[in-house]
Chain A
Amino acid sequence: SQQGEEDPQALSIQEGENATMNCSYKTSINNLQWYRQNSGRGLVHLILIRSNEREKHSGRLRVTLDTSKKSSSLLITASRAADTASYFCATRAYSGAGSYQLTFGKGTKLSVIP
């Protein structure tokens, strides 16, 4: 089952603008991660934020986490056409039997128009 819900489902912006995607989840987590997926195939890990962290930066990416609201946001600054992709948040919680499976949301489809 899907744990998270990304919002919006689709986002279209002009190159150079900032893109903000939100994610809400349901249960306690160990960490939350954001992935990018091009053309419905392999996922690329972007950034991980631990449950005791509130904000993290990596290049043009900024992630925030609010565990009290069970929500996270991903900000991509100065977007480029190459950022066009689907973005997924994934939560990681200990599920027993030593398994740290990722639970993904449905994703936000970002289109950056040149």
Chain B
Amino acid sequence: GAGVSQTPSNKVTEKGKYVELRCDPISGHTALYWYRQSLGQGPEFLIYFQGTGAADDSGLPNDRFFAVRPEGSVSTLKIQRTERGDSAVYLCASSRERGGVDTQYFGPGTRLTVL
């Protein structure tokens, strides 16, 4: 079946603008994660959804970042008043989530560039 998809693949925006990044998880996966990867670094956790609810948002860097998953499937990561430091690849992953041993399947990521 289809894997995790993310759109857009690339997004260039200007400092101060608002952006939305979309993630389509694998069908039937209840757990969804967002990560951010800066150049030369490993991915860093942002937020975790179990179904429709954000069960853990401890990785969000500040209140400019927000994510939703209204129907328990597609998720949107929203960044307000973007800053140059927000430039990174934003990765989404989904899993069936059974007791923490399920594999997380990653999407190809959205490369965000803030000018």
Which residues of A are at the interface with B, using a C-beta cutoff of 8 A? 1-2, 4, 30-31, 33, 35, 40-45, 48, 50, 88, 90, 92, 94-107
Contact = CB atoms under 8 A, between A and B. Distances in A.
A2 B41 contact: yes
Interface string B49-86: 01000011011000000000000000000000000000
Contacts, number: 81
B109 A42 contact: yes
15 contacts: A2-B41, A4-B42, A31-B100, A40-B39, A40-B89, A41-B111, A42-B107, A42-B109, A43-B93, A88-B43, A92-B100, A97-B58, A98-B50, A100-B97, A103-B45
B101 A41 contact: no
Contact of B55 (A31, A92, A99, A104): A99
A104 B43 contact: yes
Nearest to B45: A101
Given A2-B42, A2-B44, A101-B33, A45 B103 contact: yes
B57 to A, nearest CB: 9
A96 B59 CA distance: 13
B43 A30 contact: no
Contacts of B109: 41-42
Nearest to B48: A99
B89 A97 contact: no
Which 8 pairs from chain A and chain B are nearest by CB? Answer: A104-B42, A99-B56, A100-B100, A101-B45, A42-B108, A43-B106, A97-B56, A99-B48
Contacts of B31: 100
